[in-house]
Amino acid sequence: MFMIKSVAVIGAGTMGNGIAHVFALNGFTVKLVDVSAQQLQKAIETIGKNMDRTIAKGLLTSAEKENALKNLKTSESMQQGVEEADLVIEAATENTELKLSIFKQLDGWAPAACILATNTSSISITSIAAVTNRPDKVIGMHFMNPVPIMKLVEIINGYATSTQVTGTIVQLTEKLGKVPCVVNDYPGFIANRILMPMINEAIFSLYEGVANVYEIDTVMKLGMAHPMGPLQLADFIGLDVCLSILKVLHDGFGNPKYAPCPLLVNMVNAGFKGVKSGEGFYKYTLGSKELIVSERFK
Ligand SMILES: NC(=O)c1ccc[n+]([C@@H]2O[C@H](COP(=O)([O-])OP(=O)(O)OC[C@H]3O[C@@H](n4cnc5c(N)ncnc54)[C@H](O)[C@@H]3O)[C@@H](O)[C@H]2O)c1
Protein backbone atom coordinates (compact mmCIF):
# COMPACT_ATOMS: atom_id res chain seq x y z
CA MET A 1 0.00 0.00 0.00
CA PHE A 2 1.10 3.58 -0.61
CA MET A 3 1.45 6.07 2.25
CA ILE A 4 -0.66 9.18 1.54
CA LYS A 5 0.02 12.28 3.63
CA SER A 6 0.41 15.09 1.16
CA VAL A 7 -2.30 15.76 -1.43
CA ALA A 8 -2.39 18.23 -4.33
CA VAL A 9 -5.75 19.24 -5.81
CA ILE A 10 -5.68 20.70 -9.33
CA GLY A 11 -8.56 23.09 -10.01
CA ALA A 12 -10.16 25.21 -7.26
CA GLY A 13 -13.71 25.36 -8.65
CA THR A 14 -16.89 23.75 -7.29
CA MET A 15 -15.36 20.30 -6.84
CA GLY A 16 -11.73 21.27 -6.13
CA ASN A 17 -12.59 23.43 -3.13
CA GLY A 18 -14.81 20.68 -1.69
CA ILE A 19 -12.11 18.02 -2.14
CA ALA A 20 -9.46 20.29 -0.54
CA HIS A 21 -11.89 21.01 2.33
CA VAL A 22 -12.42 17.32 3.12
CA PHE A 23 -8.72 16.36 2.97
CA ALA A 24 -7.60 19.37 5.07
CA LEU A 25 -10.24 18.57 7.70
CA ASN A 26 -8.96 15.01 7.91
CA GLY A 27 -5.37 16.04 8.68
CA PHE A 28 -3.77 15.79 5.23
CA THR A 29 -1.40 18.45 3.94
CA VAL A 30 -3.20 20.00 0.97
CA LYS A 31 -1.94 22.15 -1.91
CA LEU A 32 -4.77 23.62 -3.93
CA VAL A 33 -3.65 24.64 -7.43
CA ASP A 34 -5.45 26.77 -10.00
CA VAL A 35 -4.43 28.91 -12.97
CA SER A 36 -6.62 31.67 -11.56
CA ALA A 37 -5.53 33.51 -8.37
CA GLN A 38 -9.09 34.80 -8.06
CA GLN A 39 -10.48 31.25 -8.03
CA LEU A 40 -7.97 30.27 -5.34
CA GLN A 41 -9.00 33.16 -3.14
CA LYS A 42 -12.68 32.42 -3.71
CA ALA A 43 -12.09 28.74 -2.87
CA ILE A 44 -10.45 29.56 0.48
CA GLU A 45 -13.37 31.87 1.33
CA THR A 46 -15.90 29.18 0.37
CA ILE A 47 -14.10 26.54 2.45
CA GLY A 48 -14.08 28.92 5.48
CA LYS A 49 -17.80 29.69 5.06
CA ASN A 50 -18.72 26.01 4.64
CA MET A 51 -16.75 25.11 7.77
CA ASP A 52 -18.53 27.94 9.67
CA ARG A 53 -21.84 26.40 8.68
CA THR A 54 -20.70 23.06 10.12
CA ILE A 55 -19.61 24.86 13.32
CA ALA A 56 -23.05 26.48 13.58
CA LYS A 57 -24.60 23.00 13.44
CA GLY A 58 -22.36 21.90 16.33
CA LEU A 59 -20.52 19.36 14.15
CA LEU A 60 -17.11 21.10 14.14
CA THR A 61 -15.17 23.27 16.60
CA SER A 62 -13.39 26.53 15.78
CA ALA A 63 -10.09 24.88 16.76
CA GLU A 64 -10.71 22.06 14.23
CA LYS A 65 -11.44 24.68 11.58
CA GLU A 66 -8.20 26.54 12.37
CA ASN A 67 -6.19 23.31 12.19
CA ALA A 68 -7.79 22.39 8.87
CA LEU A 69 -7.02 25.79 7.37
CA LYS A 70 -3.39 25.46 8.54
CA ASN A 71 -3.14 22.24 6.48
CA LEU A 72 -4.21 24.12 3.35
CA LYS A 73 -1.91 26.07 1.00
CA THR A 74 -2.60 27.44 -2.46
CA SER A 75 -0.41 27.74 -5.55
CA GLU A 76 -0.76 29.07 -9.08
CA SER A 77 2.11 26.82 -10.15
CA MET A 78 1.19 23.21 -10.82
CA GLN A 79 4.86 22.18 -10.76
CA GLN A 80 5.41 23.61 -7.26
CA GLY A 81 2.03 22.35 -6.10
CA VAL A 82 2.72 18.69 -6.92
CA GLU A 83 6.46 18.21 -6.40
CA GLU A 84 6.00 16.72 -2.91
CA ALA A 85 2.61 15.12 -3.37
CA ASP A 86 1.82 11.47 -2.55
CA LEU A 87 -1.50 11.87 -4.37
CA VAL A 88 -2.75 14.38 -6.94
CA ILE A 89 -6.49 14.75 -7.54
CA GLU A 90 -7.23 16.61 -10.74
CA ALA A 91 -10.53 18.55 -10.66
CA ALA A 92 -9.97 21.04 -13.49
CA THR A 93 -12.52 21.97 -16.16
CA GLU A 94 -14.12 18.96 -17.94
CA ASN A 95 -12.27 19.12 -21.25
CA THR A 96 -10.41 16.14 -22.72
CA GLU A 97 -7.54 18.09 -24.31
CA LEU A 98 -6.99 20.06 -21.10
CA LYS A 99 -6.97 16.94 -18.92
CA LEU A 100 -4.57 15.08 -21.23
CA SER A 101 -2.17 18.03 -21.18
CA ILE A 102 -2.44 18.35 -17.36
CA PHE A 103 -1.67 14.63 -16.91
CA LYS A 104 1.36 14.80 -19.22
CA GLN A 105 2.71 17.64 -17.05
CA LEU A 106 1.80 15.93 -13.78
CA ASP A 107 3.66 12.82 -14.89
CA GLY A 108 6.82 14.89 -15.36
CA TRP A 109 6.53 16.90 -12.14
CA ALA A 110 5.01 14.63 -9.48
CA PRO A 111 7.27 12.15 -7.61
CA ALA A 112 7.56 8.73 -9.31
CA ALA A 113 5.54 7.02 -6.54
CA CYS A 114 2.73 9.58 -6.61
CA ILE A 115 -0.78 8.34 -7.51
CA LEU A 116 -2.56 10.51 -10.09
CA ALA A 117 -6.34 10.60 -9.69
CA THR A 118 -8.96 12.44 -11.71
CA ASN A 119 -12.40 13.62 -10.62
CA THR A 120 -13.70 13.55 -14.23
CA SER A 121 -17.41 12.78 -14.63
CA SER A 122 -17.13 11.30 -18.09
CA ILE A 123 -13.65 11.19 -19.66
CA SER A 124 -12.01 7.76 -20.03
CA ILE A 125 -9.54 7.04 -17.19
CA THR A 126 -7.73 4.62 -19.50
CA SER A 127 -7.05 7.29 -22.12
CA ILE A 128 -5.92 9.80 -19.48
CA ALA A 129 -3.59 7.12 -18.02
CA ALA A 130 -2.20 6.36 -21.48
CA VAL A 131 -0.55 9.80 -21.81
CA THR A 132 1.54 9.11 -18.67
CA ASN A 133 4.42 6.74 -18.02
CA ARG A 134 2.62 5.39 -14.93
CA PRO A 135 -0.78 4.10 -16.15
CA ASP A 136 -0.80 1.63 -13.21
CA LYS A 137 -0.93 4.64 -10.84
CA VAL A 138 -3.75 6.51 -12.58
CA ILE A 139 -7.29 6.11 -11.20
CA GLY A 140 -10.68 7.85 -11.15
CA MET A 141 -11.85 9.35 -7.86
CA HIS A 142 -15.32 10.66 -8.67
CA PHE A 143 -16.52 12.77 -5.75
CA MET A 144 -20.12 13.99 -5.71
CA ASN A 145 -21.30 17.58 -5.33
CA PRO A 146 -21.33 19.04 -2.65
CA VAL A 147 -18.21 17.12 -1.63
CA PRO A 148 -18.23 17.80 2.15
CA ILE A 149 -21.81 16.46 2.37
CA MET A 150 -22.06 13.62 -0.15
CA LYS A 151 -20.87 10.23 1.11
CA LEU A 152 -20.15 8.44 -2.17
CA VAL A 153 -16.83 8.31 -4.00
CA GLU A 154 -17.06 6.31 -7.24
CA ILE A 155 -13.59 4.85 -7.74
CA ILE A 156 -12.83 4.01 -11.35
CA ASN A 157 -10.19 1.49 -12.34
CA GLY A 158 -8.54 2.28 -15.66
CA TYR A 159 -7.55 -0.69 -17.84
CA ALA A 160 -4.02 -0.66 -16.35
CA THR A 161 -4.69 0.54 -12.76
CA SER A 162 -2.88 -1.75 -10.29
CA THR A 163 -4.82 -3.50 -7.51
CA GLN A 164 -2.41 -1.93 -4.99
CA VAL A 165 -3.37 1.56 -6.15
CA THR A 166 -7.09 0.73 -6.01
CA GLY A 167 -6.66 -0.70 -2.49
CA THR A 168 -4.84 2.45 -1.35
CA ILE A 169 -7.57 4.73 -2.72
CA VAL A 170 -10.35 2.61 -1.18
CA GLN A 171 -8.69 2.83 2.26
CA LEU A 172 -8.06 6.54 1.85
CA THR A 173 -11.71 7.17 0.92
CA GLU A 174 -12.81 5.38 4.09
CA LYS A 175 -10.38 7.50 6.14
CA LEU A 176 -12.20 10.58 4.80
CA GLY A 177 -15.45 9.19 6.21
CA LYS A 178 -16.79 8.46 2.72
CA VAL A 179 -18.07 5.29 1.08
CA PRO A 180 -16.00 3.95 -1.85
CA CYS A 181 -17.60 2.02 -4.73
CA VAL A 182 -15.13 0.51 -7.19
CA VAL A 183 -16.25 0.31 -10.83
CA ASN A 184 -14.56 -0.27 -14.18
CA ASP A 185 -13.77 2.27 -16.86
CA TYR A 186 -16.58 2.28 -19.43
CA PRO A 187 -18.48 5.38 -20.64
CA GLY A 188 -20.34 7.15 -17.82
CA PHE A 189 -18.92 4.68 -15.25
CA ILE A 190 -21.98 3.76 -13.11
CA ALA A 191 -23.32 7.05 -11.74
CA ASN A 192 -23.78 8.88 -15.03
CA ARG A 193 -24.55 5.79 -17.12
CA ILE A 194 -27.69 5.33 -15.07
CA LEU A 195 -28.51 8.93 -14.09
CA MET A 196 -28.18 10.61 -17.52
CA PRO A 197 -30.55 8.28 -19.44
CA MET A 198 -33.12 8.92 -16.67
CA ILE A 199 -32.73 12.69 -17.06
CA ASN A 200 -32.84 12.35 -20.87
CA GLU A 201 -36.05 10.28 -20.62
CA ALA A 202 -37.60 12.95 -18.39
CA ILE A 203 -36.75 15.58 -21.03
CA PHE A 204 -38.18 13.37 -23.81
CA SER A 205 -41.40 13.01 -21.75
CA LEU A 206 -41.66 16.81 -21.61
CA TYR A 207 -40.75 17.19 -25.32
CA GLU A 208 -43.39 14.65 -26.38
CA GLY A 209 -46.03 16.32 -24.19
CA VAL A 210 -46.57 13.32 -21.93
CA ALA A 211 -46.54 15.63 -18.91
CA ASN A 212 -45.32 19.04 -17.80
CA VAL A 213 -42.27 19.99 -15.68
CA TYR A 214 -44.09 20.02 -12.33
CA GLU A 215 -45.80 16.66 -12.98
CA ILE A 216 -42.65 14.88 -14.19
CA ASP A 217 -40.61 16.00 -11.19
CA THR A 218 -43.43 15.39 -8.71
CA VAL A 219 -44.02 11.82 -9.94
CA MET A 220 -40.34 11.03 -9.41
CA LYS A 221 -40.09 12.84 -6.07
CA LEU A 222 -43.24 11.51 -4.42
CA GLY A 223 -43.53 8.24 -6.32
CA MET A 224 -39.89 7.14 -6.20
CA ALA A 225 -38.78 9.04 -3.08
CA HIS A 226 -36.12 10.90 -5.06
CA PRO A 227 -35.08 14.03 -3.12
CA MET A 228 -35.23 16.09 -6.34
CA GLY A 229 -37.03 15.52 -9.66
CA PRO A 230 -34.89 14.70 -12.74
CA LEU A 231 -35.56 18.07 -14.45
CA GLN A 232 -34.61 20.05 -11.36
CA LEU A 233 -31.53 17.85 -10.96
CA ALA A 234 -30.58 18.50 -14.61
CA ASP A 235 -30.83 22.26 -13.97
CA PHE A 236 -28.66 21.84 -10.89
CA ILE A 237 -25.98 19.79 -12.71
CA GLY A 238 -26.05 22.15 -15.72
CA LEU A 239 -27.85 21.29 -18.96
CA ASP A 240 -24.60 21.74 -20.91
CA VAL A 241 -22.90 19.19 -18.63
CA CYS A 242 -25.82 16.74 -19.07
CA LEU A 243 -25.63 17.14 -22.85
CA SER A 244 -21.91 16.56 -22.97
CA ILE A 245 -22.15 13.41 -20.80
CA LEU A 246 -24.97 12.06 -22.99
CA LYS A 247 -22.75 12.61 -26.04
CA VAL A 248 -19.97 10.62 -24.32
CA LEU A 249 -22.43 7.74 -23.71
CA HIS A 250 -23.81 7.96 -27.26
CA ASP A 251 -20.35 8.04 -28.88
CA GLY A 252 -18.82 5.51 -26.47
CA PHE A 253 -21.47 2.80 -26.84
CA GLY A 254 -22.68 3.69 -30.36
CA ASN A 255 -26.20 2.92 -29.14
CA PRO A 256 -29.09 5.22 -30.22
CA LYS A 257 -30.74 4.80 -26.80
CA TYR A 258 -28.32 7.42 -25.47
CA ALA A 259 -29.08 10.06 -28.15
CA PRO A 260 -29.71 13.39 -26.40
CA CYS A 261 -33.26 14.75 -26.61
CA PRO A 262 -33.51 17.55 -29.26
CA LEU A 263 -35.13 19.79 -26.63
CA LEU A 264 -32.01 19.50 -24.45
CA VAL A 265 -29.81 20.35 -27.44
CA ASN A 266 -31.96 23.40 -28.27
CA MET A 267 -31.94 24.67 -24.69
CA VAL A 268 -28.15 24.41 -24.43
CA ASN A 269 -27.65 26.08 -27.82
CA ALA A 270 -29.92 28.93 -26.69
CA GLY A 271 -27.92 29.42 -23.48
CA PHE A 272 -30.55 28.00 -21.09
CA LYS A 273 -28.23 25.92 -18.94
CA GLY A 274 -30.17 25.68 -15.66
CA VAL A 275 -29.19 27.22 -12.31
CA LYS A 276 -25.87 28.63 -13.58
CA SER A 277 -27.53 30.68 -16.36
CA GLY A 278 -30.61 31.61 -14.29
CA GLU A 279 -33.07 29.50 -16.31
CA GLY A 280 -33.56 25.94 -17.51
CA PHE A 281 -36.70 23.95 -16.74
CA TYR A 282 -37.14 26.33 -13.81
CA LYS A 283 -36.44 30.06 -13.41
CA TYR A 284 -33.94 31.03 -10.71
CA THR A 285 -33.80 34.36 -8.94
CA LEU A 286 -30.78 35.20 -6.81
CA GLY A 287 -31.52 34.80 -3.10
CA SER A 288 -34.84 32.98 -3.65
CA LYS A 289 -35.28 29.27 -2.92
CA GLU A 290 -38.77 29.11 -4.46
CA LEU A 291 -39.06 26.60 -7.29
CA ILE A 292 -40.75 28.33 -10.24
CA VAL A 293 -41.31 26.49 -13.53
CA SER A 294 -39.95 28.44 -16.52
CA GLU A 295 -42.63 30.43 -18.45
CA ARG A 296 -41.62 28.42 -21.53
CA PHE A 297 -43.12 25.26 -20.03
CA LYS A 298 -46.35 26.72 -18.62
N1 LIG B 1 -19.78 20.10 -10.63
C2 LIG B 1 -20.17 18.86 -10.40
O3 LIG B 1 -21.30 18.63 -9.94
C4 LIG B 1 -19.22 17.71 -10.62
C5 LIG B 1 -19.50 16.48 -9.98
C6 LIG B 1 -18.58 15.43 -10.13
C7 LIG B 1 -17.45 15.61 -10.92
N8 LIG B 1 -17.24 16.81 -11.55
C9 LIG B 1 -16.00 16.94 -12.33
O10 LIG B 1 -15.08 17.73 -11.58
C11 LIG B 1 -14.23 18.48 -12.46
C12 LIG B 1 -14.31 19.94 -12.09
O13 LIG B 1 -15.63 20.39 -12.21
P14 LIG B 1 -16.13 21.72 -11.48
O15 LIG B 1 -17.62 21.67 -11.54
O16 LIG B 1 -15.45 21.87 -10.18
O17 LIG B 1 -15.60 22.83 -12.51
P18 LIG B 1 -15.38 24.39 -12.25
O19 LIG B 1 -15.56 25.03 -13.57
O20 LIG B 1 -16.18 24.86 -11.07
O21 LIG B 1 -13.83 24.48 -11.82
C22 LIG B 1 -12.77 24.14 -12.68
C23 LIG B 1 -11.53 24.88 -12.21
O24 LIG B 1 -10.42 24.38 -12.96
C25 LIG B 1 -9.53 25.48 -13.15
N26 LIG B 1 -8.58 25.15 -14.21
C27 LIG B 1 -8.76 25.15 -15.56
N28 LIG B 1 -7.61 24.81 -16.18
C29 LIG B 1 -6.70 24.56 -15.21
C30 LIG B 1 -5.32 24.17 -15.22
N31 LIG B 1 -4.66 23.95 -16.35
N32 LIG B 1 -4.68 24.03 -14.03
C33 LIG B 1 -5.35 24.28 -12.87
N34 LIG B 1 -6.63 24.65 -12.80
C35 LIG B 1 -7.30 24.78 -13.95
C36 LIG B 1 -10.47 26.65 -13.46
O37 LIG B 1 -9.81 27.88 -13.26
C38 LIG B 1 -11.59 26.40 -12.44
O39 LIG B 1 -11.32 27.06 -11.20
C40 LIG B 1 -14.70 18.15 -13.88
O41 LIG B 1 -13.91 17.14 -14.40
C42 LIG B 1 -16.14 17.66 -13.66
O43 LIG B 1 -16.56 16.78 -14.66
C44 LIG B 1 -18.08 17.86 -11.40
Write out the chain's pLDDT in tens, 298 residues.
789 999 999 999 999 999 999 999 999 999 999 999 999 999 999 999 999 999 999 999 999 999 999 999 999 999 999 999 999 999 999 999 999 999 999 999 999 999 999 999 999 999 999 999 999 999 999 999 999 999 999 999 999 999 999 999 999 999 999 999 999 999 999 999 999 999 999 999 999 999 999 999 999 999 999 999 999 999 999 999 999 999 999 999 999 999 999 999 999 999 999 999 999 999 999 888 889 999 999 8
The residue type at 254: G
41 lines ligand 1 (CB under 6 A): no
Pick from 293, 264, 294: nearest CA to 197: 264
C-alpha 8 – ligand 1 centre gap (Å): 14
Identify whether the C-beta of residue 179 lies closer than 8 Å to the C-beta of residue 151: yes
Quote the CA–CA distance of 171 and 141 in Å, as a whole number.
12
Beta-bridge mates of residue 154: 142, 181
C-alpha 90 – ligand 1 centre gap (Å): 8
pTM to 2 decimal places: 0.94
Quote the CA–CA distance of 264 and 143 in Å, as a whole number.
25
> Which residues are within 8 A (CB) of 59 and not within 5 positions of it... i.e. 6 or more apart?
none
What pLDDT score does 258 carry? 98
What's the helix, strand, coil split of the chain in %, to 5? Answer: 50, 15, 35
Strand, helix or coil for residue 78: helix
Tell me which residue has its CA closest to atom 11 in ligand 1.
91
C-alpha 194 – ligand 1 centre gap (Å): 22
